[in-house]
Amino acid sequence: MNMMVEKAKLYVVATPIGNLQDITLRALDVLKQVDVIFAEDTRVTKKLLQQYAIAPPLLYSCHEHNEAGRSSQIVELLSQGKSIALVSDAGTPLISDPGFYLIQSVKENGFSVETVPGACALIAALSIAGLPTDAFSFYGFLPAKPKAKKDKLQLIMHVAHTCIFYESTHRILATLKLISELLPQRKVVVAKELTKQHEQVFEGWACEILAQFEKEPLLCKGEFVILLEGVKAPKLETSETNDDRLLQVLLRHLPIKQAVQIAVEITNGKKNALYKKALAQQNR
């Protein structure tokens, strides 16, 4: 069913992250019907429009270097009642892509924004990584400078849920090296070129994946999502609670002296300490 776009509305439209077929019917309808499309790179968007035989309406650029100026232009167009679509080169606009300033300013000026959802590399990667999905954090791109990148990873390494970030061809090797230094025994998933011809997913410890990439430098070419398993929560049962539980059971059947003696033999613990614990339990 074809929808009609509304006047004076900004549509934030997700586009494919590789495979051009990964676009929704609604996205195509919106791109066909809006008065103006603002695109991160008009050349990339033209290719997509051509693929679907959409004659471009007015097509302008909106990228990180001109977003402020474009925002006032877009607000002006909205006030003239125009319908507008915002797209990025790939995936969902604003997700490690420009548009945040624009959306803020459109909302501040009282116009409505509607999402036309679709592909997003981090969600695509998470859905096949085999890591917990009940909670996760997304960090975008890690800082480029080695010191800042290390500082950030040192924070991330203490997070208990799945952590996700984007990485580029030029930095993938350095990032894998850093992860293998800082987190030698953490499960890592590297999702490469998702939905494209050379899609690959690497899983294991960072040093194993790093070794593969060093052996085959061509693997570094492409777009990557890196996912880290969260740090494992410490076991709830400490030896303290084990001791208490053991004494509790022994005291149910034996006099205190015997219970403590057996607990010492089983746990190799200190007799005095276990005796105190046993006394405390008896006095409860």
Yes or no: say if 192 and 16 are a contact pair by the CB < 8 Å rule: no
Phi then psi for 93, rounded to 5 degrees? -55, 155
Identified binder of ligand SAM from the candidate list 120, 173, 174, 254, rule CB under 6 A: 120
**Least distance in Å: CB of 45 to ligand SAM?**
13
| List of residues 6+ apart from 224 with CB closer than 8 A | 166, 167, 168, 172, 190, 191, 192
Task: Using the minimum distance from each CB to ligand SAM, give the nearer residue, 194 or 259.
Answer: 194
Identified binder of ligand SAM from the candidate list 131, 190, 202, 223, rule CB under 6 A: 223
Strand partners, 115: 12
Task: Using the minimum distance from each CB to ligand SAM, give the nearer residue, 149 or 281.
Answer: 149
**Least distance in Å: CB of 125 to ligand SAM?**
6
The secondary element (H helix, E strand) that includes residue 193 is none
Stretch that binds ligand SAM, among 69-77, 118-126, 251-259, 263-271 (CB under 6 A): 118-126
Phi then psi for 247, rounded to 5 degrees? -60, -40
Q: How far apart are CA 213 and CA 218, in angstroms?
A: 8
Yes or no: say if 119 and 92 are a contact pair by the CB < 8 Å rule: yes
Binding to ligand SAM in span 225-254, by CB under 6 A: 225
Closest CB to ligand SAM: residue number? 91
Site string for ligand SAM, 83-102 (x = CB under 6 A): -----x-xxx--xxx-----
* DSSP-derived 3-state class of residue 128: helix
Stretch that binds ligand SAM, among 51-59, 63-71, 178-186, 192-200 (CB under 6 A): 192-200
- Tell me which residues touch ligand SAM (CB under 6 A): 17-18, 88, 90-92, 95-97, 120-122, 166-168, 191, 193-196, 223-225
